[in-house]
Amino acid sequence: MIKLDLKKTYKDLYNPPSKTVSEVVVPPMNYIMVDGIGDPNNQAEFQPRVEVLYALSYTLKFASKEQLGIDYGVMPTEGLWWVEGLKPVDPTVSDRSDWKWTLMIMQPEQITREFYDSAVEVVRRKKNPELLPNCRFEMLDEGRAAQIMHIGPYSAEMPNIERVHAYIAKRGGVPTGKHHEIYVGDPRKSAPEKLKTVLRQPFTFG
């Protein structure tokens, strides 16, 4: 049995420094994704999407272990966040009705679309969650990006988001794509002031 430690393999992507902005080149990676809109604090909208992502991800983990002899830890939830015009969201605002977001979980290389299609059928037979048809298996190729590890509540992210964008501007870059967050910390288990969230912004040189 092969045991993969994906967080260790991609340490520079999932555990960046918290005191300085770092620059990385993110390789193309496959994800299970599901879209949403509005305030993420609306648990009726947000939580079912998290649950269906994990149902699929754990089904894929077990299939990989049984069929390929490759085991691994399921990766954390990630989110792409934006408002119209691909502007980053402002976590300090109270009106979040125009927020758009994609929740996703990264999948290791051995997980193919065929594996995903089989997992969908397994989850459909077992639980058949309402949002299952809304999920998709998709590659994301972010390329060059600036990022920082934010430690603290989500509502206090803005200074670090601004630091990331200031770094890009200083490099003479132009933001591309969507504001990306990786929820390394679990809000159900960690105090808000100890939560760890990777804040990432892809960019290019215009």
Q: How confident is the prediction along the chain (206 residues), in pLDDT tens digits per residue?
A: 899 999 999 999 999 999 999 999 999 999 999 999 887 776 778 899 999 999 999 999 999 999 999 999 999 999 999 887 666 666 667 677 788 899 999 999 999 999 999 999 999 999 999 999 999 999 999 999 999 999 999 889 999 999 999 999 999 999 998 999 999 977 777 787 889 999 999 999 97
End-to-end CA distance of the chain, in Å? 46
Return the pLDDT at 148. 98
Q: Six-digit token pair at 62? A: 């077990």
pTM for the whole structure: 0.92
Return the pLDDT at 45. 81
148 and 22 Cβ atoms separated by less than 8 Å = yes
Q: Six-digit token pair at 84? A: 């119209």
Single-letter residue type at 22: S
d(CA 58, CA 63): 9
Domains of the chain in start order, with CATH, are 2-204 (3.20.80.10)
Return the pLDDT at 193. 84
